[in-house]
Structure 1
């Protein structure tokens, strides 16, 4: 699985990426449910990424074309870069939550996100189905710290400031890291920052740690930066393919053919890493060595959705509910649709 665009100048026209920064955590670690509901509503609905997000946004939902939402470093970016789906209309998003908002608005038919956005989208009453996933990518997200600060484990961050993107895959990694070290949200100061905000905050020591995914992760691996932990043994960090229910009804054949192309291109990229790097480095606007390092750990085969995958996502949803990061329990099983499973087997 790949993740997000490293470019600081975003190509989409969003006013935000769907993640607002809430007030600082109460030291008690608890918030009133009304406040949590309000924060979730802001995080899920206040984005402006619903229209004009793509490089070719002239074709609307009535054109008959398949409307694809992608993220620059996502698995779909290689399909886009290779020109393998010329009949699709592509829209670029900086993050998964912004992409799910576009699904809600009918601006796209299909898109790819990490493991937390489907949960937040379901909590926000967005209608979608999960039709595909990937093999786990635990090495593709990590906690970064400055070596000079002397942190040896995540437990050393107690009382420190940790930056991450709310509602993204790293949000679940934070939950699992806290659990693994017998800590709670009250033990750290969480600062919700988009990657473009978090990188300078990390570089300038305004935060003590940054939980981030590739390729931002790879870009930040500079001298003096240490990987404190990744998601190995804690979180799967899978990619999920989401589609709108309307597109499933109106465009099932287009979706199936597109998924076949996606699978073929993904497999080709894994089998041909050098060629994949040369194609994606210009698309990502980062150098080839950094691109190759990020892809080596974050590009994984696609996989069908199964009841077990649904249970894995349900555990994530229940974890967010327990911490009151979403206002109420969501049911994942009804969102899992395996009708395209043979494409990924």
Structure 2
């Protein structure tokens, strides 16, 4: 089986650097501990749950936009988001670079509706209220769904709700549909809930690893060591799916069966940065600009930093 990822595989810093046993020169030149921002269920959750990076500090965020705000505030050095948050962050002039990504995860986000409402296609939501988290990965999915169904934002009533707000609004029929990602997606899959559409054929829904420029400059050794361990932990999780669910369920605060269902469709290998990745992000940014969802244009290709990656073998 091809390695899940060759990202960082030839880096000389071993994972032991995170526990004080790494390259002395790199450790000496890196100032301060590495501060990691993560979201429940993202690949970094497994690193935290297994205790594979014991010397980093962890900060939990409900969504990608909240994580990028922490980057702006200088509260974290590195974090992981979906595909839309980097675009909105760049439009907001938040300093960061993209140092890694994942394989596509299109089944990991979906439009949920109540089966009893009788909706058969996304086009049936014309004139209806659709909830989603503004600036998150599902925001781009909404754009692509509208495009695919020859609709515009004017054809639906968009209600921007964070996941903690979206679930009760959906459960109590205050909205007609909820566009959401795992593990919130898996948690909402209750009797009577229907998956109207996911991102298959519409959006890649990759995860992206973002790093502050100050951390790139001042903590390169720690970043390399952390990413090397992240790769190893991701590969372990893919090779040990059942144990991965057992380990992550308590961290995610969800039942093991729910964790397993979500992980089966949403946990993907890391992937190297390529020119195509930069073009993909740029296309998303241009789409948001065209719809006037962000002010002006942003250059996402300039945000790609390949110094911590290498091509898949």
Taking structure 1 as the reference length, the TM-score comes to 0.81
Task: Spell out the pairing of 1:232-251 with structure 2 (5 A cutoff).
Answer: 232-251=200-219
For each residue in 1:230-279, what CA deviation from the matched residue of structure 2 results, as whole angstroms up to 9, or x when unmatched? 00000000000000111111111110010000000001001101000000
Task: Specify the alignment match of 1:52 in structure 2.
Answer: none
Quote the residue 1:218 is aligned against.
186
Q: Which moved more, 1:92-101 or 1:209-218?
A: 92-101
Say which of 292, 302, 310 aligns to 2:270. Answer: 302
Contact between 1:260 and 1:343, CA under 8 Å: does it hold in 2? no
After superposition, give the CA deviation of every residue in 1:141-174 in whole Å (9 maximum; x if it has no partner). Answer: 0000011111110000000000000000000000
Aligned partners of 1:95 and 1:172: how far apart in 2?
14
2:279 corresponds to 1:311: yes
Q: Which runs of 5+ in 1 are unaligned?
A: 1-61
Q: How does 1:132-281 map to 2 (within 5 A)?
A: 132-281=100-249
Are 1:326 and 2:305 matched, yes or no?
A: no
CA distance in 2, matches of 1:147, 1:98: 32
- The superposition leaves residues 107-166 of structure 1 with CA deviations (integer Å, 9 ceiling, x where unpaired) of 111010000000000000001000000000000000000111111100000000000000
Q: Distance in 1 between matches of 2:53 and 2:166?
A: 34
**Who is 2:40 aligned against?**
72
Deviation at residue 63 of structure 1 after TM alignment: 6.6
The answer (yes or no) to whether the contact 1:259–1:343 under 8 Å persists in 2 is no
Q: Distance in 2 between matches of 1:108 and 1:268?
A: 26
Runs of 4 or more above 4 Å deviation: none
The whole-number CA distance in structure 2 between the counterparts of 1:95 and 1:221 is 20
Distance between the aligned counterparts of 1:321 and 1:119, measured in 2?
Answer: 10
Unaligned runs of at least 5 residues, structure 2: 1-29
- Aligned to 2:210, what secondary structure does the other structure show? strand
* Greater relative contact order (Cα < 8 A, sep 6+): 2
- Alpha carbon RMSD of aligned pairs, Å? 1.2
Structure 1 Cα separation of the partners of residues 185 and 42 of structure 2:
14
**1-structure distance, mates of 2:66, 2:270:** 22
**Structure 1 segment 30-49 matched on structure 2, within 5 A:** none
Partner residue in 1 for 2:260: 292
CA–CA distance in 1 between the matches of 2:31 and 2:96? 21
Q: Distance in 1 between matches of 2:272 and 2:109?
A: 22
SS at match of 1:326: coil
- Evaluate the alpha carbon distance shift between residue 63 and residue 253 of structure 1 in structure 2; reply closer, same or farther with a 3 A threshold: closer
SS at match of 1:339: helix
TM-superposed CA distance for 1:342, in Å, is 2.4
